[in-house]
Amino acid sequence: MNLVARRNSEQRETTMVRVGDVIIGGPQLVVIAGPCAIESYEQLLSTALEVKRLGATMLRGGAYKPRTSPYSFRGKGEPGLEILSQIKALTGLPVVTEVMDARDIERVADVADMFQIGSRNMQNYTLLTEVGKTKRPILLKRGLAATIEEWIYAAEYILTEGNDQVVMCERGIRTFGTYTRNTVDITAIPALKELTHLPVFLDPSHGTGRWSLVSPVALAGIAAGADGLMIEVHPQPDLALSDGKQSLNFEHFAELMAKVGPVAKAVGRKIN
Amino acid sequence: MNLVARRNSEQRETTMVRVGDVIIGGPQLVVIAGPCAIESYEQLLSTALEVKRLGATMLRGGAYKPRTSPYSFRGKGEPGLEILSQIKALTGLPVVTEVMDARDIERVADVADMFQIGSRNMQNYTLLTEVGKTKRPILLKRGLAATIEEWIYAAEYILTEGNDQVVMCERGIRTFGTYTRNTVDITAIPALKELTHLPVFLDPSHGTGRWSLVSPVALAGIAAGADGLMIEVHPQPDLALSDGKQSLNFEHFAELMAKVGPVAKAVGRKIN
Amino acid sequence: MNLVARRNSEQRETTMVRVGDVIIGGPQLVVIAGPCAIESYEQLLSTALEVKRLGATMLRGGAYKPRTSPYSFRGKGEPGLEILSQIKALTGLPVVTEVMDARDIERVADVADMFQIGSRNMQNYTLLTEVGKTKRPILLKRGLAATIEEWIYAAEYILTEGNDQVVMCERGIRTFGTYTRNTVDITAIPALKELTHLPVFLDPSHGTGRWSLVSPVALAGIAAGADGLMIEVHPQPDLALSDGKQSLNFEHFAELMAKVGPVAKAVGRKIN
Amino acid sequence: MNLVARRNSEQRETTMVRVGDVIIGGPQLVVIAGPCAIESYEQLLSTALEVKRLGATMLRGGAYKPRTSPYSFRGKGEPGLEILSQIKALTGLPVVTEVMDARDIERVADVADMFQIGSRNMQNYTLLTEVGKTKRPILLKRGLAATIEEWIYAAEYILTEGNDQVVMCERGIRTFGTYTRNTVDITAIPALKELTHLPVFLDPSHGTGRWSLVSPVALAGIAAGADGLMIEVHPQPDLALSDGKQSLNFEHFAELMAKVGPVAKAVGRKIN
């Protein structure tokens, strides 16, 4: 592969991705936290204030949710974006949210500081091309069964349009395993670091599918060299409209954040 | 699952899918053949005439090709559709071609008798919803890492829009195997037959990735109960712009078609 | 690979494996049938008589059963072998049974016309070497996660000891799938045929794990070129001590056997 | 599962496994290092002295090597054990080495302080039962395609014989991935910690198959809660008779050990 995405003699350093005031890919680790789906103003506000207080510097929250069944909750859509916009203004946290359809890009761009491309769309090439044209930072989640090479090629679809603000996000792959929702491919983090110049994130929430496993796997990601974490947090995971089983409540998120600092320091990084 | 797609007491019989004069899901097996990508008028014409002569009743050919690398040949686009339109008029064969983006549906609908949803888009839910609204027959390929259940849910996205003209197409799943491009899940054919009322196809070309294995696996599909086959055929596979390794030349396609009849008869089906 | 197992200019023809009067690898398909585990004299006798009447020419039955949990039924051991010996004498059917430990080879050899090496032991190299020394025919099941290449190398461990009487048995591989117990890799049949000179069997019972799927997959195996089938049959599957869900009862086995002949004939083979 | 291996109200604490003076499962992390295969007295001696100097407290080295091909180097056998015995005496390091056949247990037991059960033998139930009877500590590697549940059941085969001195060793599973030899299932570490009371190790050498990825993945394992690491070290990896690509040379092992301490401390553990 002779790709724009490759780390090579011309591009040795990790690309800095700027989302508002947040810099991804530098010495400082970045934690993005928030609910899987935006459910209400109160839910998002309370979560945003709490994760900000605990050290997260970006907010996540889905308005358009890809769901396996057409009969599941598919997100609040535009009203969700409106809530996201208000909470962003209130808290000052830059926000990342998923865009699933090229026709939604403009609308989502009104609110989102960073577009998320979800796993199911990692090879939706027309969508990749369109977000490539926007020059907005992109969080590119790994496809469920994507090889490292295919994932890099997906990033290349964006980079080749002139947008180099791409963050790769490992979120677990599909294997024969049944105890966890997916299998976190921890090795993907250093592998991407040696192959590309793009920052790498880990999403241990989707990666494990079980809240009790999120913290140790999050720490593993940092030790392996990740530039940041994306964590699902919900005020009351038992009542969440989606992904409750893998969401941390505020207390567990606080416990995780208390552990992140020492591990970050041990590998020469810092958090806040 | 209590789904529209389910075979149950209300819907015991296999749904007949009508593509022009061709009926999929009845006693007659249907063979769709043609090149992976439309390369030229001559290429498509010679292939169409030959596969028709040998018993294929539908033509395939890609104008928009999803490719892992942005630097690979991505299809001829609109000029490819124009060629497809001409060959369809000349040969009278109904055509199936892939649609990758909801914004292309109208344009592709001018030519296509049947839309193909490719593996990478099996969970592109906005695309599924849009083709559901068209009422045009859909060939829904299985996602690379889709479970049977997820695949049925993808069909449900189309059915729930009021379009029941859906054909499921097994094309191999991703496993640890390295000798073949994918692993054909032959059991998916009878499994879908017992779970849903939708016709089921097999694409042994993508399933195996090696032309020498296409014929035995195609016959296996018929023996397992498939309603039809989708086969890549190219006048000169060595010169193909994509998927040459898995394409049959005319001679090998003739050999396959000679074997299809007896196996079809052995399981109570017929071909032409 | 330059292996004894390879089909090449020196060894073009399929090796004939002789088990008593039964020849595996010739024009005649061979069906091995019987219960997963030997449970009693009556169970094995009634099954043996019925499968023989319906066209099976070899009997299977496990005395030593590898089980995931140490607390599951692990087979009757020597008393099971004794029953197997009696039923073999009564019916004249050659028998195949599993050997799990090199220390059991002599004892099992008193009864078994053919040794089965199970999936879990496909890479138990000391066991492969020891059965290689016996010159007894071997049914070598594919390991759960074995590539085609690794499986051929496992056969090579036997062949290199001077024993060429090896039959390869596809029995499904482990994938992300959940609807079936394993995923039958139907393409392995023609792949092994082009790579090696060894006969190839299919075990659709373990391959699917569901009795309703056994018949269509068995027919697929024959259409793909298998030299024979291994089918689990039990007088009362609901009461079986192991693998009841995937066992055919006598009626369903009769239905399968009625379908095997026509498909065999369609691909130029015969059964009885 | 109601198993001896389960962490429950009767057995809340992690079982301490004692290998000579080394305690696995306590606050102190344990690093086992050494070559894949014992090649010569000089090779093993130089490696043992160096890894001891750098903080490893146990030595690994294979005399019996399971190899995919019968024509690969399969270990030195008894002469290898003799070398291992001498180096153990010289350095005072307790040693772990693989036993592949129940018939070798006595011979291996003369030297080994701990038996390794390799991935290919994780479901070799007669071998598990026999090492269970010995009461010797066991390092039980995960099978290539073993679920967490199957792995725990394999341990149960040993525990149910009265031997609770079992250490579970994650070493990567087989997935569709091609960049690495296996896919390290990092989540298995905390998963086993919540399900069982057994200590858990990580082998990042087999897990990744690439030396450049060993260090970051090793640190990830510690951050995720592993009780120790098993690392392949060779004086000249390029000349190794097996697994050279994944072996650290002395310099890289020194670099890894320098990083282990801070990460261990960050998660409340220590090393030496």
- Phi, psi (degrees; rounded to nearest 5) at C54: -90, 0
- Average pLDDT over chain B, rounded to an integer: 97
Query: What is the DSSP secondary-structure string of chain C?
Result: ---TTB--SS--SPPPEEETTEEESSSB-EEEEE-SB---HHHHHHHHHHHHHTT--EEE-BSS---SSTTS-----HHHHHHHHHHHHHH---EEEE---GGGHHHHHTT-SEEEEPGGGTT-HHHHHHHHHH---EEEEPPTT--HHHHHHHHHHHHTTT---EEEEE--B--S--SSSSB-BTTHHHHHHHHBSS-EEE-HHHHHS-HHHHHHHHHHHHHTT-SEEEEEB-S-GGG-SS-GGG-B-HHHHHHHHHHHHHHHHHTT-B--
Alpha-carbon span A213 to D81, nearest angstrom? 40
Question: Could you tell me which chain A residue has the CA closest to the CA of C183?
Answer: A176
Asked if D137 and D159 count as a contact pair (C-beta separation under 8 A), the reply is: no
pLDDT at A10: 85
Residue B223 to residue C225, Cβ atoms within 8 A: no
Phi-psi region of B63 (alpha: psi -120 to 50; beta: other; left: phi over 0): alpha
Predicted local distance difference test score (pLDDT) of residue D49: 98
Predicted pLDDT at A1 = 57
- How far apart CA D272 and CA D270 sit, in angstroms, is 6
CB-CB neighbors (< 8 A) of C68 in chain D: 123, 149-150, 153
Q: How far apart are CA C258 and CA C254, in angstroms?
A: 6
Record the tokens describing residue B257, joined without a space: 């078609």
Which of D117, D123, D140 to mutate to probe the C interface, most C CBs <10 Å? Answer: D123
Contact C224 B219 (CB under 8 A): yes
Minimal CA separation from A143 to chain B, in Å: 10
Q: CA-based diameter of chain D, in Å?
A: 51
d(CA B257, CA A193): 50
Does the beta-carbon distance from A216 to D189 stay under 8 Å?
Answer: yes
The answer to pTM > 0.90 is yes
* Strand boundaries in A9-103, DSSP class E: 17-19, 22-24, 30-34, 58-60, 95-98
Query: How far is the C-alpha of D249 from the C-alpha of D238, rounded, in Å?
Result: 9
Contacts with C229 (C-beta within 8 Å, 6 or more apart), sequence order: C29, C30, C31, C32, C201, C202, C203, C204, C218, C221, C222, C260
Q: With an 8 Å Cβ cutoff, is A263 touching chain D?
A: yes
- Provide DSSP, D78-143: HHHHHHHHHHHHHH---EEEE---GGGHHHHHTT-SEEEEPGGGTT-HHHHHHHHHH---EEEEPP
Chain C hits for B221, CB-CB cut-off 8 Å, are 220
- For residue B174, give the nearest of D145, D174, D176 by CB distance: D176
Residue B231 has pLDDT above 90, yes or no: yes
| Euclidean distance between the first and the last CA atom of chain D, given in angstroms as a whole number | 36
List CB contacts (< 8 A) between B175 and chain D.
Answer: 176
Tens digits of per-residue pLDDT, A142-195?
A: 999 999 999 999 999 999 999 999 999 999 999 999 999 999 999 999 999 999
Angle of CA points D96, D99, D100, to nearest 5°: 150
**Is C149 close to B178, i.e. CB distance below 8 A?**
yes
Of the residues A101, A103, A129, A175, the best mutation for testing chain B's interface (the one with the most B CB atoms within 10 Å of its CB) is: A101
D168 to chain A, any CB pair closer than 8 A? The answer is no
Predicted pLDDT at D198 = 98
Angle between the A188-195 and D211-223 helix axes, to the nearest 10 degrees? 140
The band of D196, judged by pLDDT with boundaries at 50, 70 and 90, is very high
Amino acid at D106: E
Which of the other chains make 3 or more beta carbon contacts under 8 angstroms with chain B? A, C, D
Contact: A70, B153; criterion CB under 8 Å: yes
Q: Is C176 on the interface with A (CB under 8 A)?
A: yes
Q: Which residues of B117-144 are buried (b: 16+ CB within 10 A; e: fewer)?
A: bbbbbbbbbbbbbbbbebebbbbbbbbb
Q: Using a CB-CB distance cutoff of 8 angstroms, which residues of chain A are in contact with residue D229?
A: none
**CA distances from residue D230 to B167, C128, D256 in whole angstroms, order as listed:** 51, 29, 12
- Rounded to whole angstroms, the Cα distance separating B76 from B59 reads 17
Tens digits of residue pLDDT in A71-109:
999 999 999 999 999 999 999 999 999 999 999 999 999
Phi-psi domain of D22 (left: phi exceeds 0; alpha: psi -120 through 50; beta: other): beta
pLDDT number for residue A75: 95
Give the number of residues written for chain D: 272
Interface probe for A, chosen from D186, D189, D214 (most Cβ of A below 10 Å), is: D186
In Å, how far is B212's CA from the nearest CA of chain D? 23
Q: Is the pLDDT of residue D1 over 80?
A: no
- pLDDT tens digits along C37-78: 999 999 999 999 999 999 999 999 999 999 999 999 999 999
C156 touches chain D (CB under 8 A): yes
The mean predicted confidence, pLDDT, of chain A is: 97
- Residues 116-145 of chain D with CB under 8 A from chain B are 145
A77: left (phi over 0), alpha (psi -120 to 50) or beta: left
C178 part of contact set with chain D, CB < 8 Å: no
Which residues in A lie closer than 8 A to residue C143 (C-beta atoms)?
none
The rounded distance, in Å, linking the Cα atoms of C105 and C112 is 10
Q: Which of D66, D69, D156 sits opposite C70 (nearest CB)?
A: D156
Task: Give D100's contacts in chain C (Cβ within 8 Å).
Answer: 124-126
What residues contact C143, with CB distance under 8 A and at least 6 apart?
C119, C120, C122, C123, C150, C151, C154
Predicted pLDDT of residue A270: 96
Averaged over B207-222, what is the pLDDT? Answer: 98
- How close is the nearest chain B Cα to the Cα of D175, in Å? 5
Give B217's Cβ-side CA count (13 Å radius): 36
List, for residues D104-131, the tens digit of each pLDDT value: 999 999 999 999 999 999 999 999 999 9
| CA dihedral sign of residues B20, B23, B24, B25 | positive
Q: Does A179 touch chain C (CB under 8 A)?
A: no
pLDDT of residue B197: 98
Size of interface A-B (CB pairs under 8 A): 64
Type and span of the H or E element at D23: strand D22-24
CB atoms within 10 A of CB B40: 14
Mean pLDDT of B45-52: 98
Which residues on neighbouring strands pair with residue B34, listed in sequence order? B232
Residues on chain A touching C174 (C-beta within 8 angstroms): 176
Average pLDDT over residues C82-107: 97
Over 60: is that where the pLDDT of C87 sits? Answer: yes
Subunits next to D (3 or more Cβ pairs <8 Å) are A, B, C
Mean pLDDT value of segment C258-267: 98
Which residues of D are less than 8 Å from C160 in CB distance? 70-71
Give the Cβ contact number of residue C126 at 10 Å.
20
Classify strands A95-98 and A114-117 as parallel, antiparallel or unpaired.
parallel
pLDDT tens-digit map of B66-123? 999 999 999 999 999 999 999 999 999 999 999 999 999 999 999 999 999 999 999 9
- Whether chain A has a CB inside 8 Å of the CB on D270: the answer is no
Contact residues for A253 (Cβ-Cβ < 8 A; gap 6+): A33, A50, A51, A54, A231, A233
* Residue B191 in this model has a pLDDT that exceeds 70: yes
pLDDT of residue A2: 82
Q: Which two tokens stand for residue B254?
A: 């003739």
Provide the pLDDT confidence category of residue C272 given band limits of 50, 70 and 90. confident
Q: How far is A131 from chain B (nearest CA, A)?
A: 14
Per-residue pLDDT tens digits for C137-146: 999 999 999 9
Top pLDDT among B272 and C200 is at C200
Q: What is the pLDDT of residues C222-254, one digit of tens each?
A: 999 999 999 999 999 999 998 899 999 999 999
Whole-angstrom distance, CA of residue C49 vs CA of residue C116: 22
The predicted pLDDT at position A182 comes to 98
